[in-house]
A and B are shown apart, each in its own frame.
Chain A
Amino acid sequence: MKNTTKYLLVGLVFFLSACNEEWVDTKPNGEPTTAFFWKSEDDLNRAVAAMYQRMGSENTWGRNLFWMQNASDDVVTGRVRSESDNIKNFNITGREGSIANCWNDVYWMMNKANQVLEGAPTATGVSEAARNRALGEAYFIRAFSHFWLAYSWGHKNQGVPFDGPENPEYGKRLPPQLPSVTDNYALIIKDLEKAAELLPLFGTYGPADQGRAHKAAALGYMVKTYAYWAQYDPAKWGLIPALADRIKSEGNRALITGRGGPQANYQAVFTIASNWSSEYIWSANSGTQGGSIFPGVSLENKGWGIFNGWGYFQPTEELYEAYEKNDPRREVTILKFGDKFTYFGVERAYYSTNSLSGFQMRKYMEPYSYGKSENAGSNPMINQNGDGPSTRLNLPLMRYAEILLFKAESLIKQGKNTEAAIPLNEVRARVGLEPIASPTMDDLKHERRVELACEWTDRLADLKRWGDFDKINAPLYGRIHTNKTDPASPYEIKVIWPARSFDPAKHMAWPINPDEISRSNGVYKQTPGW
């Protein structure tokens, strides 16, 4: 036994002295470490993919960014939700998750673009074409996210925070709030110019690459940025027509026409088949697993017992009445009582026991027409999970029609009303409406409203930049049917949303989450007025 003991002790001594700090060093598996990245095109593609991640988030183009647009006169919140009501009534602190999360997610997206802008220039093992496209996509995504932040939270006297790797202090300080939102717009334009230069044309993309940023999208957002910038600097209007023309000629973008009639032309825009049509400029690409859930969010609450519609955003009587009598776009855009539509393979007439206005958006209904016998599971075009009701229909964020209307608006603003008639009437002609020889701003406002109604082009931002505050503040009307389960039931028009008190001295931009200001230790200032 004595010997055994000795051997054991000798063994112990060996064991102990064999151990050293290297022994504890195990190496990680799975995801690559940051030290071994940017070494192949695959790396590049994955970094680029991360930039797009939030395109399909509920906090962004799924629902929450729309709460701010919901404060316009075109739509109301269709169901009781106090936080949303208070956003619509400008009665908020900025901490409300429904808007604070948008800020967080869009900045997250911007950061991923910055990561590509940092890594792609020195990536090894990649072709120059791949590098350029990646950089172009990154400039576009940075500008695109920057634009949403700028126009939502940016004020004439206080821009939104922005930083990028081209600044030497990048990462070493809080991204600084810029002096004015126009400073943000200037940087957005710079990024979009680079993106337009680097990005390929949409037409060069095969199906596997559709959805990536492309040249016309960069030009399109330049148009929109200039248009928003122009409210502070009218000189910017002059830059728009040429860009719009490039989108048409270089970008090969055009309205969808020739579908057998004005209504069919317009109807075709909002179909799965037209996800990548000539009219497409930029969309939240969507499918049965992910993408924008907006179609489900704006569908009848509980979807008549068949699918989980959320029932949130509903058109107002004002919007319905804004259309010219013979405008086919009204019926494509809005469902009213008695309107026939196909729902999971079965035709039904619209009624709603819970629509506040008596209307529902119709633009995003095509995916729900598929399937059979009102069985949701039989519909291959929708996400079966009612908690994330995306569909195969892409959510358009910018269509060529909007470019034509911006071109028209810029020409009117420059006093070239008759020139403006050309793009404006192109939009009207597609839906069979009479041309207007010398359109005024009122004509333009009307056309923009009805052509883009219920889309993410932001009617509220239009009303703000046009100074039409009385329209924001007017009470909103809806149709109150006597029997809400009867599609043929008569109705009365009544106030559904009382007059509001938008104050241009206070409410031109949305408030920042006060916690964000706390965390900045006072470096950030609240949006002026709030």
Chain B
Amino acid sequence: MQKSVSNKPRIWRLYMRIGVLQWIILALVATVTYAADVMAQSILNREISVHLSDITLKKALYKIQKETEVKFVYSSKVSLDDRVSLNADDTKLFRVLDELLRPHGITYSIVDEQIILANARVDKRQAAASSSEQGIKDEVVPEDIMVNGTVYTSEDETALPGVSVVLKGAGRGTTTNVNGTFSLGVPDAQSVLVFSFVGYETQEIVVGNNTNLTVNLKVDNKLLEEVVVIGYGTVKKGDLSAAVSTVPDMAQIKNRPVLNVGGMIQGKVAGVTVVNNGGHPNQAPKVTIRGVGSRSDESVLYVVDGVPNAPYNPADVESITILKDAASAAIYGAFSGSAGVILVTTRQATAGKPSVEYVGFTGVKTAWKLPQSLTAQDEARVANLAYTNAGLRPLDGWDATKNPYAQVNRTDWIGEIFRTGIIQRHNLSINAGTGKFSTLLQARYEKDEGTLVNTFSQNLSLRFNTNYQFTNKIRLRQELFYNNNDNRGTSTESGYSGTILSAIYMPRSAAAYYEDGTFGGVGPRDSKYLGIHGDAISPLGTLMRNQPYNKANEILSVTELNISDIVPGLSYLSRFSYKQSDRQYKSFSPKRTEPGKPDNQNSLYYENNRYYQWIWENTANYSRVFGKHNLGGMVSMTAQENGSRNFNAAARGFENEADWAQFFVNATIFDQNRPSSDEWHDRNLSYVGRLSYSFADRYFLTGSYRYDIAGRLAMGYRGKGFPGVTAAWKLSSEPFFNVKGIDLLKVRASWGRIGNIGSIGRYYGYPRLSGTETYQIGDGAPRSNGYFVSSRFNTELSWETSQQTDIGLDLSILKNRLTVTADYFDKLTYDLIKRQDTDWTQTFGYDAPQINQGKIRNTGFEFSTSWRDQVGQVAYEIGGNFATLKNRVDYIDANPNSVWTHGEAWRGVLVPYRSTVGQPYYSYWLIKSAGIFQTDAEAEAYTGAKGRIQPNAKAGDLKFVDENGDGKINDQDRVYMGNAFPKITYGFTTNATWKNFDASLFLQGVGGVKLFNAFKQSTLNGTEQGYNRWDRILDAWSPNNTGSDIPIIRANDPNRNFQTNSDWYLENGDYVRLKNLMVGYTFNNLPGNVKLRVYFSGDNLLTFTKYSGMDPEVGGIGLDGGQYPVSRVFSLGVRLKL
């Protein structure tokens, strides 16, 4: 067992004191403008919309100035009289300026928030001439030379249509035709032609004597200049040396009816597996980065605008970055939870005249594939057949002459509980600002109704975001976010009361409502034959009786002070965030008197909960360029505290169940439920540092280290450090590298460690007693409270660590039209924290200690690529990603026979999971089945050394494989048969625009998934206690239906067809989904500068799968007992900006 806990608190404290001072001194020595860069970047990244039609540049810039509040400054040498036309919507300012100014030979730069215009640097001769140009700016130039030419791409020399060709200094120009050719009249041989095309570098050519020009345009590498948010900073995408992915197509994704980041990421990033936990509207999908490593809780850390676990409005998300490798996530140390980190940035207030924007969609949701139960007559038939086949007398209640009631169909329970749900989101933003102060005010309402009645999740939020620019150097950002959530879910997991399962269990002869309007039970109250039915609960009652008050208010405040150039090159950021959430829950459970599983007692339950979290983070950033050497450093310190107070109380015995009476004053029984209260606080302290160095844009090196001190651990075991190292070599920047067509070639390698603290309970260092109660003591069996030690305490418990090595390649070719990123990783999680489950038996009588044991390895290959191009007026983009994942238990303990047993069971009968070295974690461990015995003789002939292998088997029973050949079927015959986690994930996206139309298509799929369809155990089983069944049981084996794979219908099960953990339940869970199809139209020429886009979107339109359950996206460990299915959504959206 590896142990890496530092047990030297005193030394650390000393080091810390000195270290901090040193850091500050170090930080006080330098130049460069981390913050200023960010500032300029943010101005240029502002999105603006302008519609200019044949006006002078000067007027055009004036219009932009009004729109954005950015000032343009220019010398008299710069001519702004050229006439321009441009239509741009939601285009970044730099792109607009490039388009407007470049053809006219004007460059720009940002100084103190002003955009300074200048003539492009030309040779001295031209510079000298430029003063004379001033004088003739409005003159008509005679056309004395006709220039023809063809524009090619510089790499593969294909002709480029649509390239803008402009005579410099004049308002004249043309574009190349489909063959890439053009012709234009110029005044003289000194005339300069400016060639520009989106995605290519603008080129100027002096005409000279050559009237037939061949122009090769080079690909613009601006894409590679894109800035990517990483932990505690940003980096240029082209300079990344770690495995960091950004989610592409954010514009499309945001329009889809997905209400959380997990849903946005699904299928978009290689190596990130997102599995919906079914279709529960109030549950988020499970996001796993590079495989499951932990044996306990392993959740991804979300960092929103620098604040861990901050709430946000998903409509506001601008970018999502996933830190896939440990080296990049190591900067979040123990809080990255060994699963990885997802960084979210949201829209910020920008300068500009007040604008109002509405973005919203409304959609309808339906379940796409639902099971159905037997009709009343079929249920009777199946019940009688089951008893007859078991040698039992059929029950009188199923005799149509004796109990005709049970033979009439009254309710389609599946139809009763499923509906078409409405999903909607409305988001209104008001943005306004000057260079000194800008604000963004937003309001959102969203409601996601599930396809099961009375299930939903609803959010109402208000956000106020401001930016104060005190001076060039000092900036303050303040964020206020308020969210109100209300949600109602249902449990579909239980094998006894799961909602969907109950809808199958209920007889179709039962009425949904009795005549008095109350919920109907399994039969009429006065029926004499109720015992033929199982203890099924009306799913309609379960869903509709759940009417809690369940409001949670969340408030987030983030205050961020940014000081740049304290001394040149040093910037300092202090960020304080405070989050508080208050939840009140009031639930009244009425009596359930209808036959089935009655509960004749009502109860009122109240719960109040307050959670808070504050984080104070102080970061100093330094970066400097010394010639070809680029040096950066960052130190940060974070202190955080979170805590919660909780209180709940309940009472029973309400005579009146009316809404107005659902208060404690009307309760009569107070001694059966004790109130309970709880309070906890948790503190953590972290120190973070990073050094980065690059040489000549060729060699990149970074090293980071984080030291976390966690209060929840026992004294002496609280601190641990997490290192990360990355390196990259940009071959394409080497002087010797001169491969045509390759714009970027970079190899990367990284190594790092992250920890997991989530798996350790709070106050682990202070083992507490557990409370319980008994009714054994005292006359009348009152409640007595007891205390006990619930588990053994392991003083030596250490942290779980995940160590990962990554090797990657970034390639960009054909003018950046094709980009490829490939990665191989090897992630080993060790010192896994789990309750000891080897050498620990139930005979101890209390829980095992938490121990560090075992290793789980995940290795995988990830590949993503995209192709962007334009054909005529159709611009398109095709993206794909593909990832493999191999998950293995690498080591358990010194005993080679050790296994991890997993207790997850279906109705206490099926326990299908186990883990062992060499197999995936949570493998299915099952007996193989080999079809159905067609005759009694065949069953009798199935013999081994000791006679019959399945002594109780008859025709129609499952044949189990005697794997070890010992002549009997038992655990020794069980084999490992894969697990539920996808081994292959892939996604494929196409986006295209044509004129005002845009369309996108997104396919997503998984492979290597095995699902355990436990729903079959309860619904295709003739022995199950009077429950109605899935209508597929009609296809069960019988002497007349020998081709079936469903065992014979029989009210007993001596062969244990349904009680054996066999692969009969195991199914292929692979699927390919047409996840989204979207078509949009943008209205460009609406009056009053109004911009409007409307779109239609379909989600989960088609699913290709062999899985026989409702939906293959079962979630969790793949145990499907009738999971709430993922639904199909059709939605209509609008984006309107005034």
Q: Which residues of A contact B (CB under 8 A)?
A: 1, 5, 8-9, 12-13, 15-17, 19-21, 23-35, 37, 43, 45-53, 55-56, 79-83, 85-86, 89, 91, 93, 95-98, 101, 103-104, 107-112, 114-115, 161, 163, 171, 174-175, 207-212, 275-276, 284-291, 300-302, 304-305, 307-308, 310-311, 351-354, 376-377, 383-387, 390, 392, 394, 480, 483-485, 494, 498, 513-516, 518-524
Contact = CB atoms under 8 A, between A and B. Distances in A.
12 contacts: A15-B639, A21-B12, A26-B683, A53-B773, A85-B1053, A91-B1056, A212-B776, A302-B522, A353-B397, A384-B600, A386-B599, A521-B895
Contacts of B528: 304, 351, 353, 484-485
A28 B845 contact: no
A308 B782 CA distance: 23
B668 to A, nearest CB: 11
Contacts of A47: 786-788
Contacts of B952: 91
Given A5-B566, A97-B908, A34 B1059 contact: no
Nearest to A93: B970
B599 A385 contact: yes
A357 B700 CA distance: 83
Nearest to A290: B775
B774 A12 contact: no
Given A16-B637, A107-B845, A52 B777 contact: yes
Nearest to B775: A290
Contacts of A115: 788-789, 846
A86 B781 CA distance: 35
B781 A287 contact: yes
B680 A29 contact: yes
A50 B784 CA distance: 9
A98 B1025 contact: no
Contacts of B593: 376-377
A195 to B, nearest CB: 16
B535 A308 contact: yes
B685 A23 contact: yes
Nearest to A30: B678
A487 B988 CA distance: 70
Contact of A485 (B402, B718, B780): B402
Interface size on B, as a range, is 35 or more
A387 B1054 contact: no
A418 B536 CA distance: 56
B956 interface: no
Interface in B1075-1119: none
Contacts of A354: 395, 397, 529, 531-532
Nearest to B645: A29
B899 interface: yes
Residue of A19, A115, A286 contacting most chain B CB atoms (<10 Å)? A19
Interface stretch (B480-488, B604-612, B835-843, B859-867): B835-843
Contact of A95 (B715, B841, B911): B911
Contacts of A290: 773-775, 781, 783
Given A174-B841, A519-B840, 6 more contacts: A8-B572, A79-B1026, A104-B842, A212-B776, A384-B599, A483-B396
B775 A34 contact: no
B737 interface: no
Interface stretch (B431-439, B543-551, B763-771): B763-771
Contact of B911 (A30, A112, A515): A515
B531 A300 contact: yes
B779 A208 contact: yes
A485 to B, nearest CB: 4
A55 to B, nearest CB: 4
Contacts of A34: 767-769, 789, 793
A112 to B, nearest CB: 5
A311 B533 CA distance: 12
B769 A386 contact: no
Q: What is the predominant secondary structure among interface residues of chain B facing chain A?
A: loop
A24 B597 contact: no
Nearest to B566: A5
Contacts of A516: 841-843
Contacts of A310: 535
B500 to A, nearest CB: 20
Contact of B531 (A311, A483, A520): A311
B144 interface: no
Given A52-B774, A82-B1053, A519-B838, A305 B595 contact: yes
A387 B470 CA distance: 66
Query: 7 shortest A-B CB distances, which residue pairs?
Result: A111-B845, A97-B908, A287-B781, A354-B531, A24-B711, A49-B786, A50-B786
Interface stretch (B15-23, B255-263, B503-511, B1000-1008): B15-23
Nearest to B765: A25
A519 B902 CA distance: 11
Given A43-B787, A112-B845, A115-B789, A82 B1052 contact: yes
B901 interface: yes
Nearest to A176: B843
B899 to A, nearest CB: 6
B817 interface: no
Contact of A50 (B387, B767, B787, B1052): B787
A12 B574 contact: yes
Contact of A24 (B474, B685, B837): B685
Contact of B897 (A20, A96, A171, A522): A522
Most buried by A among B524, B566, B837, B1059: B1059
A16 B618 contact: yes
B803 interface: no
Contacts of B395: 353-354
Nearest to B403: A353
B901 A518 contact: yes
Contact of A33 (B24, B474, B767, B1058): B767
B598 interface: yes
Given A276-B779, A354-B397, A101 B908 contact: yes
Contacts of B1053: 82, 85-86
Contacts of A485: 396, 402, 528-529
The residue among A24, A107, A114 with the most chain B CB atoms within 10 A of its own CB is A24
Contacts of B525: 305
Interface in B555-613: 561, 563, 566, 572, 574, 591, 593, 595-601
B873 interface: no
Given A24-B684, A115-B788, A376-B598, A97 B843 contact: no
A468 B780 CA distance: 40
Interface in B812-842: 837-842
A211 B597 contact: no
Nearest to B911: A95
